């Protein structure tokens, strides 16, 4: 399966930039297969190597060809994979990872039969985390987020989307986005920020009045701050209805924020149709999406982001991944890491995708890499290991990528490269 070095003219001398070579790779997952043929939706090469200079992949090919062009002894970082598999770094495209406080007691209550929405209606859930975040210092928010990112990185995640939405007022929403910006600058994982002032209705407020505040006060301040790229809304019964969600997202578009929607999570309210209508980057959750929603999202080119950890933690039925896959959608997976879904591992998400949602390990890996990058509109090759892409890669302690979905006891990750540098092992 190994092919020629893609960039045969590459300059061997990488003295002007940091260089990296990973060779003797038993199974290299390069990215999605280009022609859709073959046993998996992935392009997989055997006995392969990759080389990177200045954080970018510059050669992909047979171990022999690449190491001739880029001798390991000349590289700043050289890894002999010794037959192990190498895959692109995971992209986690839906998290609420900047928070404070502890909600493990709510987990116990849910195990005894209490509903998620009942807890929220009583002022717990999201609203409880909002109180904890408002009380936390800026440094505490950054420290909490940084700790979670370290765990994610150890499980192979190199790019993470993080939402605000535990502030629910301009000042605290901005503080959350600022925390994301600070964490982005001080640790290896690349962060993509989403403004989610419309995550819940604050205690004692009336929904339309709060939507006015999001549109007239929060969004202009968020746009001026300039950290957020996306705008998300919890389109759900008892939270924001379709028209309220549309108001927020259309105002977000005016301010240059691309829409995303928490859609059809607990009920089928119409968030998927709204996402299709607005040409959102993604519609997320989709546990209650039906055939019409699948069709509408596919036609509009909206990426379905499925979050099996949420269904697992709540004991709910999973989203119908197969319906989306059979319709040709670029299904993405994410952790949805938040105090209601304490999962930071894209490895576990792939296991759930395979075991609970009928995805093949290859579909689950593609959903955790390139398709996840698509849902964040990352056009630089993130989620692949093709030439020109960021050299974000995971060396597994196993001979095949199948071990990502197959293992559910300990991590299959041996080392993580971000921009061609070893950042976890
Ligand atoms: O995606 N559903 C809304 N938001 C989160 C949960 C946030 C929370 O409970 O704190 C989600 O599951
Ligand atoms: Fe969420």
User: Ligand 1 mean position to 421 CA, how many Å?
Assistant: 34
- Cβ of 43 below 6 Å from ligand 1: no
Q: Are residues 342 and 268 in the same domain?
A: yes
Q: Are residues 257 and 150 in the same domain?
A: yes
- Cβ of 262 below 6 Å from ligand 1: yes
Kindly state the tokens that stand for 107.
């987990």
- The burial of 132, by beta-carbon neighbours within 10 Å (0-12 exposed, 13-18 middle, 19 or more buried), is given as middle
- Cβ of 407 below 6 Å from ligand 1: no
Local structure of residue 73 (DSSP, 8 states): G
Local structure of residue 246 (DSSP, 8 states): H
- Cβ of 155 below 6 Å from ligand 1: no
- Cβ of 305 below 6 Å from ligand 1: no
pLDDT of residue 319: 98
- The burial of 186, by beta-carbon neighbours within 10 Å (0-12 exposed, 13-18 middle, 19 or more buried), is given as exposed
DSSP output for 238-251: TSB-HHHHHHHHHH
Q: Are residues 236 and 303 in the same domain?
A: yes
126 Cα nearest atom in ligand 1: 10
Q: Residue 59's domain is classified under what CATH number?
A: 2.30.40.10
Which residue's C-alpha comes closest to atom 3 of ligand 1? 234
Q: Which residues pair with 282 in a beta bridge?
A: 260, 303
- pLDDT in 10s for each residue of the chain, 425 residues: 334 444 434 444 444 579 999 999 999 999 999 877 778 899 999 999 999 999 999 999 999 999 999 999 999 999 999 999 999 999 999 999 999 999 999 999 999 999 999 999 999 999 999 999 999 999 999 999 999 999 999 999 999 999 999 999 999 999 999 999 999 999 999 999 999 999 999 999 999 999 999 999 999 999 999 999 999 999 999 999 999 999 999 999 999 999 999 999 999 999 999 999 999 999 999 999 999 999 999 999 999 999 999 999 999 999 999 999 999 999 999 999 999 999 999 999 999 999 999 999 999 999 999 999 999 999 999 999 999 999 999 999 999 999 999 999 999 999 999 999 999 99
Q: Are residues 97 and 209 in the same domain?
A: yes
pLDDT of residue 2: 39
The answer to whether residues 188 and 423 touch, using CB atoms and an 8 Å cutoff, is: yes
Q: Which ligand is nearest to the CA of 232?
A: 2
The answer to whether residues 301 and 309 touch, using CB atoms and an 8 Å cutoff, is: no
The answer to whether residues 375 and 305 touch, using CB atoms and an 8 Å cutoff, is: yes
Q: Which residues pair with 250 in a beta bridge?
A: none
pLDDT of residue 388: 98
Q: Residue 209's domain is classified under what CATH number?
A: 3.20.20.140
Domain that holds residue 160: 91-375
Q: Report the C-alpha gap between 201 and 175 in whole angstroms.
A: 18
- Cβ of 96 below 6 Å from ligand 1: yes
- State how many domains the chain has: 2
99 Cα nearest atom in ligand 1: 10
Q: Are residues 53 and 193 in the same domain?
A: no
Q: Are residues 333 and 207 in the same domain?
A: yes
Q: Are residues 369 and 392 in the same domain?
A: no
Query: What is the sign, positive or negative, of the torsion defined by CA atoms of 73, 31, 28, 154?
Result: positive
User: Ligand 2 mean position to 262 CA, how many Å?
Assistant: 6
Q: Are residues 32 and 162 in the same domain?
A: no
Which residue's C-alpha comes closest to atom 11 of ligand 1? 336
């Amino acid at each position: 399966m190994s092919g020629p070095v893609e960039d045969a003219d590459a300059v061997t001398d990488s003295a002007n930039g940091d260089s990296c070579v990973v060779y003797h790779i038993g199974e290299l997952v390069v990215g999605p297969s280009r022609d859709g043929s073959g046993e998996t939706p992935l392009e997989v090469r055997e006995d392969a190597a990759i080389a990177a200079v200045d954080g970018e992949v510059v050669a992909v090919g047979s171990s022999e060809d690449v190491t001739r062009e880029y001798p390991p002894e000349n590289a700043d970082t050289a890894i002999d994979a010794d037959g192990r598999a190498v895959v692109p770094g995971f992209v986690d495209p839906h998290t609420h990872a900047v928070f404070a406080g502890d909600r493990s007691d709510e987990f116990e209550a849910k195990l005894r039969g209490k509903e998620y929405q009942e807890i929220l209606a009583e002022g717990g859930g999201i609203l409880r985390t909002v109180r904890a975040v408002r009380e936390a210092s800026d440094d505490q928010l950054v420290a909490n987020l940084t700790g979670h990112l370290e765990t994610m990185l150890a499980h192979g995640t190199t790019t993470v989307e993080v939402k605000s939405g535990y502030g629910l007022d301009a000042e605290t929403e901005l503080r959350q986005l600022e925390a994301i910006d600070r964490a982005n600058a001080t640790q290896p994982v690349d962060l993509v920020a989403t403004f989610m002032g419309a995550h819940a209705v604050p205690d004692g407020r009336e929904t339309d009045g709060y939507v006015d505040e999001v549109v007239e006060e929060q969004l202009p301040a968020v746009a001026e701050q300039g950290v957020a790229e996306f705008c998300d809304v919890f389109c759900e019964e008892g939270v924001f209805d379709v028209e309220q969600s549309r108001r927020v997202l259309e105002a977000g578009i005016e301010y240059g924020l691309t829409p995303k929607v928490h859609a059809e999570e607990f009920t089928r309210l119409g968030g998927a149709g709204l996402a299709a209508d607005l040409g959102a980057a993604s519609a997320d959750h989709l546990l209650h999406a039906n055939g019409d929603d699948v069709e509408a999202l596919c036609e509009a080119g909206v990426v379905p982001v499925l979050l099996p950890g949420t269904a697992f933690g709540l004991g709910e039925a999973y989203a119908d991944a197969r319906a989306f896959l059979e319709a040709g959608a670029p299904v993405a997976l994410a952790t949805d890491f938040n105090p209601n879904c304490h999962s930071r591992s894209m490895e576990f998400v792939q296991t759930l995708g395979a075991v609970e949602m009928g995805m093949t390990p290859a579909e689950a890996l593609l959903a955790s890499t390139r398709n996840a990058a698509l849902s964040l509109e990352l056009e630089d090759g993130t989620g692949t290991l093709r030439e020109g892409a960021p050299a974000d890669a995971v060396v597994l302690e196993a001979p095949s990528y199948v071990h990502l979905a197959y293992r559910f006891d300990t991590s299959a990750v041996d080392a993580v490269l971000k921009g061609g540098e070893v950042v976890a092992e």
